């Protein structure tokens, strides 16, 4: 099956610094990737849709200047948390959409990365 990796798996950073998280599709090309945030014992909250070669689209309430997303290639999307604060501490998970066209309204399966645990001190 399709494999998605994330790096790093965990990171600790100081308040005010920035941290970059990478999401890679290892055995398929992903024109669309998604970023989620999950607080302890809570659900996955969709943050943004990352589109290869174009700007990311953000969900309502997500600060695009704080969570910078870059999807520079068909296998890599990055999420940079800028000026991190303790309240940004969370589990960040990416997913990559199953390859395929968009015609016909078909919804495609998403393959999830293993997640990145961010702790801001």
Contact set with other proteins (CB under 8 A) = 32, 34, 41-46, 49, 59-60, 91, 93, 95, 97, 105, 107-110, 112-115, 117
Q: Toward other proteins, which CB reaches closer, 28 or 91?
A: 91
> What's the min distance (Å) between Cβ of 61 and other proteins?
11
> What's the min distance (Å) between Cβ of 58 and other proteins?
11
> What's the min distance (Å) between Cβ of 93 and other proteins?
6
Through-space distance between the first and last CA atoms of the chain, rounded to whole angstroms: 37
User: SS3 helix, strand, coil % of the chain, rounded to 5?
Assistant: 5, 50, 45
Q: Toward other proteins, which CB reaches closer, 5 or 82?
A: 5
> What's the min distance (Å) between Cβ of 116 and other proteins?
11
Query: In this structure, what token pair is assigned to residue 25?
Result: 């599709």
Note whether 111 and 98 are within 8 A (CB): yes
């Amino acid at each position: 099956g399709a494999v998605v990796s994330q790096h790093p798996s965990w990171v600790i950073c100081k308040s005010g610094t920035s941290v970059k998280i990478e999401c890679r599709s290892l055995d398929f090309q992903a024109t669309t990737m998604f970023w989620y945030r999950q607080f302890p014992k809570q659900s996955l909250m969709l943050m943004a849709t990352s589109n290869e070669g174009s700007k990311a689209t953000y969900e309502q309430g997500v600060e695009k200047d704080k969570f910078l997303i870059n999807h520079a290639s068909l296998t890599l999307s990055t999420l940079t948390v800028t000026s991190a604060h303790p309240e940004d501490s969370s589990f960040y998970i990416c997913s990559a959409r199953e390859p395929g066209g968009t015609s016909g309204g078909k919804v495609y399966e998403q393959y999830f990365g293993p997640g990145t645990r961010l702790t801001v001190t």
